[in-house]
Every structure is written in structure tokens, then in C-alpha cells.
Amino acid sequence: MTTLEQAPAAGPETGKEIGKDRRRKEDQRLITGRTRWTDNLSVPGMLHMAMVRSPHAHARIVSIDTSAAKQATNVYDVVTGHDIADSQGVLANAWPITEEQKTPTHLPMAVDRVTFAGEVVAAVIARSAAEARDAAELVDVEWEELPAVLDIKEALKDEVLAHPDLGTNKSALWQFDSAAAGTGGDVDEAIAKARTDGIVIERELLQQRLMPAFMEPRSYLADPTGEQITLWSSTQIPHIVRFLLAATTGVPESKIRVIAPDVGGGFGGKLAVQPEEWITFAVARRLGKPVKFTETRSESLMSNHHGRAQVQHITLAAEKDGTVTGLKVHLDADLGSYVALLGGGTPVLGAFMFNGIYKFPAYQFNCQTVFTNRPWTDAYRGAGRPEATYAIERVMDDLAAHLGVDPLEIREKNWIKNTEFPFTSVAGLVYDTGNYEVATAKAKEMFGYDALRAEQKERRARGDKVQLGLGVSTFTEMCGLAPSRILGALRYGAGGWEHATVRMLATGKVEVVIGVSPHGQGHETAFSQIVADRLGVPFEDVEVLHGDTQVSARGLDTYGSRSLVVGGEAVLRAADKVIERARVVAAHLLEANLDDVTFDSGRFSVAGTDQGMGITDVALATFTSHNFPDDVETNIDAQGSFDAVTFSFPHGTHLCAMEVDTETGRVKMRKYVCVDDIGTVINPLIAQGQVHGGVTQGISQALFEEAVFDDAGTLVSGSFVDYLLPTALDTISYDVAHSPNPSTTNSLGAKGVGETGTIASTPAVVNAVVDAVRHLGVTDIAMPMTPERVWTALRGDPGGA
Ligand code: MCN
């Protein structure tokens, strides 16, 4: 047995974890399939549920005949919206972005009317999932079809209404004006001046609808048979789900336990209380039996919320030398059929980012949100920021082309210099740190920019069939959602704090309970590294617990690249409190004055002596000791919370080389380099994985993905046969590097990385393709840039709606 005297000081593996390429602790169980996803779970007496969904984009439910389904083998019950009408909660849409916002009632299960193809109208509960699905086909719904509005521009005309009772398709108009806010000048004046004595670039850009395509489809299991109702959910937000279920059902929060086991991706798509989730919970309560629902991939694509979906009207004013004098943005953003959890707030997040890394003197942003009879939209990796970065980086290229200068030159002319940080942007945010000069120089060198430009010139001169284009994308983003005070000012209902608990166990192991809820980000590994360094214990001795409201009572979950910069700081604070409490115990055990006891690398020492003891010895002593004085506590566990003052602002420069076959329209990626500033990097391997995944997702928007509906509003791209996602064969190996400037918003100095790749890569790819063929008269190609679209653009039609 280890005695206090024999206990070793912190071992050689401690004190240098941050910055180390640790393979993820989670990988063993995730990659070898040894984890238990929600759909693998089973509890005694569990029933299965299948949904009956609307085939129509807009229709009145005349009647629902459930009799045949109820007679089917092993069917336990069939539930319609009417059956649960009095218990149906209204799904979260409680945070209007303006006082005048129009918000339709959103019931989890439709009662009288459906507003998109895929909306749930009944649920069949049976002994097995197959029996439930078969019986769902026997539910006979009589429909009266209603006119549907399926397009943003049509919706704006208000001729056909998605929700006739609202009297309009327009939900809210959100506006920001730098002159009114006092953060800049008058944009209309800047544009008027540029029209007579400068340059004005005007563009309408399209952000197509995307569908979050996480690996694990949504799955829910609700068990009401215990003291509490337990809901296992493939969610990003167990704490928020528990709160919203309590708020919408009247069940006390203390009687609801939400468990997010390992979750196979979310990308913002699992950032909601989903109707199917709410129905699973409600039906289990109604029947008093455990009920499980797992969606098919087609159900996921047709009924999970979608992302992007906006028309962007951009006006950029500049002086003749390329100095930008103003930027005016008007967005028409498609909410789809309802206002989702973040609702109109998602496109509005872009309001703060259209000005990117630049020092624009005047800025105006208007966002009109509209309803259509399509699935509702909400956060999708980047949420507002990829859209903003796309627009500004596209028009900066247009400005460079207008002046006949290199795209990097025009950016450098307008960007915020390193010496100017902290910098208050024209949108009113304070950028913490950054160095665009260094990141860009590094990216240029890694890319071999000058050699590729020379090759491009030669190909153009020869009139090659395959032309080369170089795409530049610089970006910054507000990450670490976070600051409660800013969220409050934006009228978001949620706070932005985070919480953690650190417990030293008697054997010297450490349990860390986090409030953030990973679904692929590797928090168990990265947070172990932080705690191992701070407490001076081996990385392997730290266990990170999460995703269960019973275990982690307080937290605001994972989205907006917040987990490290907000949650990591909460963990640090808890660890520091543990050290402080352990110091008191150590002083007692070492019979020293508290002021003389210092802590370093896992060990307490008494100043001026060779006496000391490890923090793990202190933990053991708190467990075994029977004779502590009253003023020395035997509990050294601690909690920490953090709510940042402002966001942190990662940035980076991404460069992409694309080859374009001018005869076939086929495009091929040749090189992709990204140099990002994410402040202190906790685990470079994880960060690199996040960038790789993120960049691929952004490339995918540029080249592959688009939700397509037919004229009746049925999703045509309703399976992975029609909704194209890139495979390893479609991507190349990206060159990733960091150019860190530690953030001043948290003591780790970290900035988020979870969305950077997605935010930066889409414009890099599109700019590269357009750059390849600009000399042939092409200035725009709508996304996704399929070979057909590129081919058509070369013949004069940029495509798009
Ligand atoms: N990290 C680091 N050093 C930094 C910043 C982060 O080592 N300077 C590590 C973190 O410790 C964490 C990971 O990188 O392990 C991501 O951290 P962070 O940027 O804080 O992002 P979150 O953990 O909050 O994750 C959210 C973000 C978002 S918003 C989406 S969308 C997204 C993403 O992460 N969805 C993902 N990455 C995803 N990755 C997977 N596999 N699946 C998803 O659904």
C-alpha cells in the first residue's frame, strides 16, 4: 500500500500535456464500434415507434383513420395529434429576434394542417420497429392539398402563404447600421460617393439549402418506469433538452434525466428539441412504457432541420485604389416552415461577420426572414458565419479583379493590422488578438503561391483546355458561444456560461465532470490534458464524464465552438480550487504555515525546507484521515464556472488550387493549404482532425451538396444517392498549420476550432474555380459547382435559382 511518505511526486509524464498530439481516448470504443449508441440500447418491456409523415408540403388534415393500423400484428397503440392535443408542448421558438417577429405555433405532431412534406401526423407504437413501420403504412390520412410556397423570392411576394393565419410570409426584419450604432459611418453615403468617384461592386449570391448529414441518425429512448423519466437521446444538448422538456410538459426538471451517450455527430443538426424527441417522451409517458424511436436516413434528410438557405444582396463601395469605404448587406433568409430553436437568430449571427477581417468604415446589415413550406432551417456548422465569409470573400475577389490586382493584395490593403488589436469592428465586436500578416505569409509559402500564379499565366497564354485557378479565403469568426451579456443583448433566451466539477479520488485518480456535451470532438482527451497539466497528474489518471444530466447537473452543452474556450476555462477554475483546498490540507499534514506552502507540478512544498507531498497523497489523506481539525475540510473537490466577457476570434488564411476542364466543366482540387490562428492549441492532432473535417464540409457545399425539392415540395435529394457527400476519393490531403496568437478572453489563451474549416473553405474553392475561368468571362457560378453548372457558366449562365 502506498503510504504518504512513500508516495512518489508527480511522474515524468506530467506537466507537459497541453500542446501534445494525444490520440483520442474515445477512439478505441468509437472506431471499433464498441460503444453503445442510443439505438443499441434496450430496456425491459421496450416498445418501438414509427412515424406517419405528410407527403404534402402544405395540406389540411381532413381525417386520420387509424383502425387498420391498430389491428396490425403486435401494434400497441396509434397516436395522432388530436390524441395528445392537450399535452402537446409548443416547441421552442420563444426567442423572437425582433418584437414584431411573426412566429407560427409549432406543435411536435400536426393536428389540423401540415406545413412541409415530412411533418409528423401520427405515431405507431408496436412490439418491434419493423412492425411499427409496417403498420404506419396502414394509417389512412385524408388530405386537402393547399397551395405551397417553396422559394424565397416567391415567399417575399406574399402571394401564396406558408401560414395563411399569419397573413404574410415575412417573419422578422433585423437591422444593424453602423451610423446608428456609433461604430462607423453612413453606408449609403459611402456607396453614393463611390458611384461617382470610386468603385461599386454589387452581387446577388445564393446560399443553397444544406442538410446536416451526421453519421448516426437521430434516436431516442424514453423510459418512464423509474422514479424519473429517463430519455436517452442522440443530442448535442442534453441540459437544454431537459430544460425545454420540463418547460413544455410540466414535468419537474428533477424528474427528467437526459442522457446523451456517445453521439455520432451533430454539426448543429442535433441542437434542438426535435419533434420526434418530444413525441417519444410524450408517448412513453402516455403509455407508461419505455418507447424507442430511431429514424431512417430518408426521414433524417426530410425532417431534421436544414441549414444555410439564403439569398445575399451585397453592395461593396471602394475608392479607386481598392480601399473599401462601405459594405451593405441585405439577406433574404429562408426559415422554412417554423422558427427553430435559434430560429431567426442563425442568419443574424452573420450580421457580425460580413465585415470579416477588414477595417470597413461603414456597414449596414438587414436580414429579412421568411417562411416557406419546406423543413425549417437552423444552425448548421458555422451558423451564419460561413454564409458571411462566403459573401465578403467572393466580393473582395471581385474588387481585386475589377482593379486587376492580386486578391491577396486587396485583402492586405483592407485588413486590420496586427498592431491594431484589440480592434473594435464596424459591427461592434472587439476582436481579441490576431496577425493576418503572419498567417497569410505562412500560407503563401506553404502553397507555393508565386509558382502556381506563374503556371496559371502560362496555361492562360497557351489557351489550355484545363485551366488553373487560385482561391483565397481569409476569415475570422466569433466563437465560444459564450458571453451571456452579448447573447442577452441579442435577445437570445439562453445564457452562455459553462460549468465543471473536478474530484480527486482517494487512489489519486481524477474525475472531471463537464457541462459541455461532445459528439465527436474528443473532449475526454483534450480536457484530460488540461487537468493533467494543472494538477500535475498523469494524463491516464484523468477520467472525463459528460452527457448525463444526473452526473453533470449544470451545463449548456456543445455548439458554436464553445466547449474549449468556455468549458475548458471552467475546468481550469475547478482544478485551481481543488489545488487551493488541497493546499490547506497539505499545510495541516506538513504542519506548516499555509503561506509557506506552494504548489508546482503536482507537489506541495514548504518554503525553505525539503518537505513536501504530492496532491494525490493529499487526496488519499482526505479519505483515510480521522483526525482533521474543524477548520480543515476533508473534501477537496471543487466546481468552476466561466462566462467570458466576449467571444474569441480565430482567424486564418486558406488557399486552394483548382483545375477546371473548360470542355467538360469538371473541376479537380490540386492543393489546399490552411493556416489558422486558434490561439493555444491543446491537442494539435484533434485540432487538425477538426480542421480536416470542417474543410471537407465547406468544400462539400461548394461542390456537392444541395437540398432539391420538386414543384410539389417533395424532397428529391432524399437519400445519399441523390444528396451528394464527398468521399475520400473526392478529397485530397490538406496542408494544415497554425499561427497562434493566444486569446486574451480565457486563461488558456485558446480560440475555438470546431467550425473554422467550414467557415473558410467554401469561398476558397469557389474563388479558385471562378479565378480559373474569369478570363473567359465567368464571374459567378452557383453552388454546388457541378460539372453541368461550370459548363453552363462557361457558356454564359451562372446558374442558381
Ligand atoms: N481544441 C484544441 N485546441 C484549440 C481549440 C480546440 O485542442 N485551440 C480541441 C478541443 O479541446 C475539442 C475540439 O478541439 O476537443 C473542438 O473544440 P471547440 O472548438 O471548442 O469546439 P466544440 O468542442 O465546442 O465543438 C463544436 C463544434 C461545432 S459548433 C460543430 S458544428 C462541430 C464541431 O465542433 N460538429 C462536429 N466538430 C465536430 N466534430 C465531429 N466529429 N462531429 C461533429 O458533429
Q: Tell me what the pLDDT averaged over the chain comes to.
A: 94
- Give 154 Cα–ligand 1 centroid separation in angstroms: 37
User: In this structure, are residues 27 and 34 in contact, taking their beta carbons and an 8 Å threshold?
Assistant: no
Residue 704 neighbours by CB distance under 10 Å: 17
- Give 701 Cα–ligand 1 centroid separation in angstroms: 20
Say which CATH architecture domain 307-482+646-794 belongs to: 2-Layer Sandwich (3.30)
Average pLDDT score over residue span 270-287 = 95
Average pLDDT score over residue span 676-700 = 97
- Give 752 Cα–ligand 1 centroid separation in angstroms: 7
pLDDT tens-place string over residues 472-516:
999 999 998 768 887 777 666 667 899 999 999 999 999 999 999
Q: What is the CATH number of domain 38-146+218-294?
A: 3.90.1170.50
pLDDT tens-place string over residues 203-235:
999 999 999 999 999 999 999 999 999 999 999
Q: Is the CB of 390 under 6 A from ligand 1?
A: no
| Nine cell digits for residue 658 | 483548382
In ligand 1, which atom is closest to the CA atom of 562?
Answer: 24
Q: Ligand 1 test: best mutation among 516, 517, 564, most atoms within 8 Å of CB?
A: 564
pLDDT tens-place string over residues 720-755:
999 999 998 889 999 999 999 999 999 999 999 999
User: In this structure, are residues 206 and 782 in contact, taking their beta carbons and an 8 Å threshold?
Assistant: yes
In ligand 1, which atom is closest to the CA atom of 214?
Answer: 44
Amino acid at 726: P
| Nine cell digits for residue 636 | 477537496
CATH fold of 27-35+497-642: Aldehyde Oxidoreductase; domain 4 (3.30.365)
In ligand 1, which atom is closest to the CA atom of 753?
Answer: 19
Give residues with Cβ within 8 angstroms of 20, minimum separation 6: 529, 683, 684
Q: Shortest CA distance to 98 belongs to which of 169, 167, 173? A: 173
- Give 560 Cα–ligand 1 centroid separation in angstroms: 9
In ligand 1, which atom is closest to the CA atom of 479?
Answer: 19
**β pairing state of 140-145 and 307-318:** unpaired
- Please state the domain extents for the chain: 27-35+497-642, 38-146+218-294, 307-482+646-794
**From start to end of 337-481, where are the E strands?**
363-371, 423-424, 430-431, 466-476
Whether the per-residue pLDDT at 706 is higher than 50: the answer is yes
pLDDT-derived band at 15 (thresholds 50, 70, 90) equals: low
pLDDT-derived band at 240 (thresholds 50, 70, 90) equals: very high
pLDDT tens-place string over residues 758-788:
999 999 999 999 999 999 999 999 999 999 9
Confidence at residue 489, expressed as pLDDT on a 0 to 100 scale? 72
Q: Is the CB of 682 under 6 A from ligand 1?
A: yes
What's the burial of 767, exposed, middle or buried (CB within 10 Å: 0-12/13-18/19+)?
buried
**When comparing pLDDT for 482 and 21, which is higher?**
21
CA distance 537 to 615: 8
> Residue 278 belongs to what H/E stretch?
helix 275-287
Residue 666 neighbours by CB distance under 10 Å: 14
Residue 151 neighbours by CB distance under 10 Å: 16
Instruction: Scan for cell 494525490, then name that residue.
Output: 616
**What 8-state DSSP symbol labels residue 70?**
H
Q: Whose alpha carbon is nearest atom 2 of ligand 1?
A: 682
pLDDT-derived band at 6 (thresholds 50, 70, 90) equals: very low
CA distance 394 to 389: 8
pLDDT tens-place string over residues 130-174:
999 999 999 999 999 999 999 999 999 999 999 999 999 999 999
Q: Is the CB of 510 under 6 A from ligand 1?
A: no
Q: Is the CB of 754 under 6 A from ligand 1?
A: yes
Q: Is the CB of 561 under 6 A from ligand 1?
A: yes
Confidence at residue 480, expressed as pLDDT on a 0 to 100 scale? 85
ipTM: 0.99
Residue 20 three-state SS: coil
b/e for 157-169, b at 16 or more Cβ within 10 A? Answer: eeebbbbeeeeeb
In ligand 1, which atom is closest to the CA atom of 565?
Answer: 20
pLDDT tens-place string over residues 76-119:
999 999 998 777 778 766 678 888 999 999 999 999 999 999 99
- Give 558 Cα–ligand 1 centroid separation in angstroms: 8
Residue 336 three-state SS: strand
pLDDT tens-place string over residues 451-466:
999 999 999 999 999 9
User: In this structure, are residues 368 and 173 in contact, taking their beta carbons and an 8 Å threshold?
Assistant: yes
Q: Whose alpha carbon is nearest atom 4 of ligand 1?
A: 681
Domain 27-35+497-642 and domain 307-482+646-794, same fold? Reply is: yes
